[in-house]
Amino acid sequence: MPKDEYQSRDFRIVGTRPVRPDGIDKVTGKARYGADMTAPGMLWGAILRSPHAHARIKSIDTSAAEAMKGVKAVITRADFTYQPESASLADVLDNCMAGEKARYDGHAVAAVAATSKSIARAALKAIKVDYGVLPHVTDVDEAMKPDAPVIEAGRVQENVPEGYSENVTGRSQYGHGDPEAGFEKADLVIERHFTTAATHQGYIEPNACLAQLGADGQGEIWVCTQGHYMVRNTCAGVLGLDAGMLRVTASEIGGGFGGKTHVWMEPTALVLSRKAGKPVKLVLSRDEVFRATGPTASSSIDVKIGMKKDGSITGATATYRLQAGAYPGSIAFLSAMCGFAPYDLKHVRTEGYEVMTNRPKAAAYRAPGAPMAAYPVESVIDELCQKLDLDPLETRLKNAAREGTKASYGPTYPAIGLEATLKAAQSHPHWIAPLGENQGRGVACGFWFNFGGDTCVSLMVNPDGTVSLSEGNPDIGGSRASMSMMAAEELGVDLDQVRTVIADTASLGQNEVTDGSRVTFAVGLATIKAARHAIQIMKERAAMTWGIDPEAVDWRDGAAHPAGPNAGKFPPMTIKEIAAIASNTGGPIAGHHEVTAEGAGVSFATHMVDTETDPETGQVKVLRYTVFQDAGKAVHPDYVEGQFQGGAAQGIGWAINEEYIYGEDGRLQNPGFLDYRIPVASDLPMIEPVILEIPNPGHPYGVRGVGETSIVPPLAAIANAVSRSSNVRLTSLPMSPPKVLAAMKGT
């Protein structure tokens, strides 16, 4: 077996729970996030945004703002002199600064840089924009109708069938077999329509950057992002700069959940800086975050499933219609791939439609597309179980995908953990705990692909034998700790001998963004290989010192050893000893690894939840919550648990209270945390995490991504619990009190 594939082993450090290395800075307030950096001579940026959902920009008069004392630059789209060739970069540009028209409430139309925040704000008020208001559409089903206002003509892909408006830009299809024939064999077929509201990632740190760009095209950006390489490449592409001339440094990041895998305003800061000749800090307000950075898609869905009395699913179809917002490119295809991924089905077909609307450009949100894909499927399966009097866990086990199953989206699965999560759920005390009046218990499964992708890691052995590890992925939830642990494990040194930093874009090759639950898997893989590379060099140095063949040297416990009696009798050389004489044996020692990582290993979870519904008000309270998920190998179990708990909490918010509310005028009515209701501490119970470890064959330690799957099952799990206790099937998210009460009263 090649050494980089999974091998079962006993770990020394991996699987323990050390204190994270960046912890002290974060509990003392020293850690520097996006808005915490300053530069000499720095100006404050601010962005003027459209108050209209859809409007032609007839003219912009910036003269009064420019004349104000302390105002150093005012820009509009005219200051973005480069027009990118690729459609996707042109979209990013237009989203950062509107061209001919404002496409949504909150769309940027101008920006200023001034010597203080208050002057910058006052200058925005002095800019006069003449708008020609256009008809708008913010609802996905409305936007598909042939006579809907069109956001942008000419973007429809060839595979979109006739009969829709030009807002429908893409369609995707997946599946195999003949679902109609499958339905014929069923004892019961249920078809239902579902809707989900747009939700925001809701990270607590608003987007922020500090940017500088000179007339020579050299620039620097300090930014809170999930991917500083992505920021560099996108800014360079949008502004026509050379990527190598831009150096981007990732700040500490206060949450992202996919929302910081995009560029929203960094090019604006660069252009302001170029025009003013000074560094510019641009920090979005919470209102701007809600109005202008991507929420996830809202959706309209039809699902049909047929089941036999014994619980086997005979056929299944789903149609997903997802908002893309103001530009093409939604995640409907991911929904179409994920919906039935947990099940072994003979006859299955899904399709996804991408629909433009007058809303902010939809962005990735934790397992993008998967939560709204699982919600209707898991709801209908639950209803079939109710009506056929079947056990919902047993029924899911009966249909569960296993090693060798052909997934509904194409590939054949290697070893996967769905069955293990279902069995763990069956044997957990939660499953048999008694329920009280108005209480219900729901279960649901969820799937996420997990990504790999471009990754670079450098591992330097310092002259004193300590280790510096450079990686290129912002650490959102403790990944530096995990990298240090894997490096120390592989090198055989103590954890405190390794320090991991997030390098800037000039210090390592290309790295994909921190998304798709890729970091612990892909960066971990590259870390282990970089460590192996360094070990190889250190073995050579020991061999040289001993005058033997490098093949005759073994590495264990942080030291080189002669491989056996034939290799010669030498005392082991520790990493410190090898490092100390590196200058005499060939120079500094460093390992590195560059890879497009594959084999991320898909992930499954089963969630179980108890809710209580107030029959007089429709209010839903979550009483008990348990997450069962496969982690492959939990490198730092505390942070794996944290991912399970955090994803579940976000899913609970999505299920019960979170939603983008648009008025008749197409404006967002709740761009703040008071009325965009994310769960607060008193809303939630403890969330019990149950970690299962089914090793990923594609990683040397068996690691799989764990970050996203946990947001997939909660929507359906809660809907199932509430539907069971209130004897009515709830088919629209969020299950806010007015909706639940109306459903219970049958109105």
Partner 1 sequence: MSQIHVITTINGDETEFLCEAQETLLDVLRDHLDLTGSKEGCGTGDCGACSVIVDGRLVCACLMLAGEAEGRSVETIEGMADGDDLHPLQQKFLEMAALQCGVCTPGILVATKNLLERNPNPTEEEVRYWLAGNLCRCTGYDKIIRAVMDTAADMRGAA
Partner 2 sequence: MRFQSPESVDEAVALLAADPEARVLAGGTDLLVRLRMGDVAPSAVIDIKRITEMTTIAQDDGGWRIGAAVPSAEMNETAALVTDWPGVTEAADLIGSTQIQGRATVAGNLCNASPAADSVPAMVAAGAVARVAGPNGSRDVPVEDIPTGPGQTSLAQGELVTSIFLPAKPENSGSAYLRFIPRTEMDIAVVGVGITLTLDSAGAVTAAKIALGAVGPKVIVAGDAAKTLIGTTGDDPALDALAAACSAAATPIDDKRGTAEFRRDVTGVIAKRTARIALARAKGEA
Distances (CA, A) of 11 to 5, 467, 488: 16, 19, 11
CB of 599 or CB of 707, closer to partner 1: 707
Stretch 241-260 residues interacting with ligand FES (CB under 6 A): 255
Cβ proximity to partner 2, 118 vs 584, nearer residue: 118
Q: Which of residues 358-397 bind ligand FES (CB under 6 A)?
A: none
**Any contact of residue 23 with ligand FES (CB under 6 A)?**
no
Q: Which residue in the block uniquely carries the two structure tokens 């764990």? A: 706
Q: Judged by CB under 8 A, which of 32, 309, 402, 745 binds partner 1?
A: 32
Q: 660 forms bridges with which residues in the sheet?
A: none
Q: Work out how close the CB of 520 gets to partner 1 at its nearest, in angstroms, rounded to a whole number.
A: 13
Pick between residue 255 and residue 615 the one whose CB is nearest to ligand FES.
255
Q: H or E segment at 213?
A: strand 208-213
Helix (H) or strand (E) holding 175: strand 168-176
DSSP assignment, residue 581? T
Binding test (CB under 8 A) with partner 1, winner from 674, 738, 746, 747 = 674
For the bound state, the minimum distance from the C-beta of residue 481 to partner 1, rounded and expressed in Å, comes to 9
The encoded tokens of residue 406 equal: 């052909």
Q: Which pair of structure tokens corresponds to residue 249? A: 């440094």
Residue 17 binds to partner 1 (criterion: CB under 8 A): yes
Least separation in angstroms between residue 616's CB and partner 2 is 4
Answer yes or no: are the C-beta atoms of 511 and 227 closer than 8 Å: yes
Q: Catalogue the E-assigned strands of 273-393.
A: 280-283, 299-307, 313-325, 348-356
Residue 117 interacts with ligand FES (CB under 6 A): yes or no: no
Choose the one of partner 2, ligand FES, partner 1, none that binds residue 61, judging by a C-beta under 5 to 8 angstroms depending on kind: none
Say whether residue 661 binds partner 1 (CB under 8 A): no
637 near ligand FES, judged by CB under 6 A:
no
Rule CB under 8 A: is residue 30 a binding residue for partner 1? Answer: yes
**Contacts for 689 with CB less than 8 Å, ≥ 6 apart:** 627, 629, 640, 641, 644, 645
Q: Give the shortest CB-100-to-partner 1 separation in angstroms.
A: 32
Closer of 30 and 125 to partner 1 (Cβ): 30
Alpha-helical runs (H) found in 97-185: 117-126, 140-144, 179-185
Chain-centroid distance, C-alpha 405: 27
> Taking CB within 5 to 8 Å according to partner kind, which of partner 2, partner 1, ligand FES, none is near residue 741?
partner 2
For partner 2, the closer CB: 359 or 539 = 359
User: Which of 663, 734, 647, 669 minimizes the C-alpha distance to 199?
Assistant: 734
For residue 252, the 8-state DSSP code is B
- Give DSSP secondary structure letters for 11-36: -SSTTS-PPPTTHHHHHHT---BGGG
Binding test (CB under 8 A) with partner 1, winner from 649, 692, 703, 743: 649
- Residue 494's region, left for phi above 0, alpha for psi from -120 to 50, else beta, is beta
Distance CA 474, CA 467 (A): 19
If binding is defined by CB under 8 A, does position 40 make contact with partner 1?
no
With beta carbons less than 8 A apart as the criterion, state whether 400 and 422 touch: yes
Nearest approach, Cβ of 702 to ligand FES (angstroms)? 27
151-170 binders of partner 1 (CB under 8 A) = none
What does the alpha-carbon distance between residue 39 and residue 34 come to, in Å, rounded to a whole number? 13
Instruction: Specify the residue, 195 or 497, whose C-beta has the smaller distance to partner 2.
Output: 195
State the binding partner of 33 from partner 1, ligand FES, partner 2, none, CB within 5 to 8 A by kind. Answer: partner 1
Interface with partner 1 includes 286 (CB under 8 A)? yes
Output the CA angle 361-597-294, nearest 5 degrees.
10
Binding stretches for partner 2 (CB under 8 A): 121, 125, 287, 616-619, 656-657, 661, 669-670, 673-675, 677, 679-680, 682-683, 736-738, 741-742
Residue pair 356/162 in contact by the 8 Å Cβ criterion: no
**Is residue 204 a contact residue for ligand FES (CB under 6 A)?**
yes
Closest by Cα among 599, 628, 563 to 703 = 599
Does residue 572 interact with ligand FES by CB under 6 A? no
CB of 670 to partner 2, least distance (A): 6
Return the structure tokens found at 67: 């004349």
CB 471 within 8 A of CB 513: no
Binding partner of residue 592 among partner 1, ligand FES, partner 2, none, CB cut-off 5 to 8 Å per kind: none
Joined together, the tokens standing for residue 79 give: 């200051």
C-beta nearest to ligand FES: residue: 204
Nearer to partner 1, 194 or 644 (CB): 644
User: Which parts of 516-667 fold into alpha helices (H)?
Assistant: 524-546, 575-580, 582-585, 637-656
Q: How far is the CB of 176 from ligand FES (least distance, A)?
A: 41
- Chain-centre distance for alpha carbon 628: 20
Q: Which is nearer to partner 2, 426 or 619 (CB)?
A: 619
The least distance separating ligand FES from the CB of residue 204, rounded to whole angstroms, comes to 4
A 10 A CB-CB count for 456 gives 22
Residue 223 or 324: the one with the smaller Cβ distance to ligand FES is 223
Residues that bind ligand FES (CB under 6 A): 204, 255
Residues that bind partner 1 (CB under 8 A): 17, 19-20, 22-24, 26-33, 35-36, 116-118, 201-206, 252-257, 283, 285-286, 476-478, 638-639, 641-642, 645-646, 648-650, 672-674, 678-682, 684, 686-687
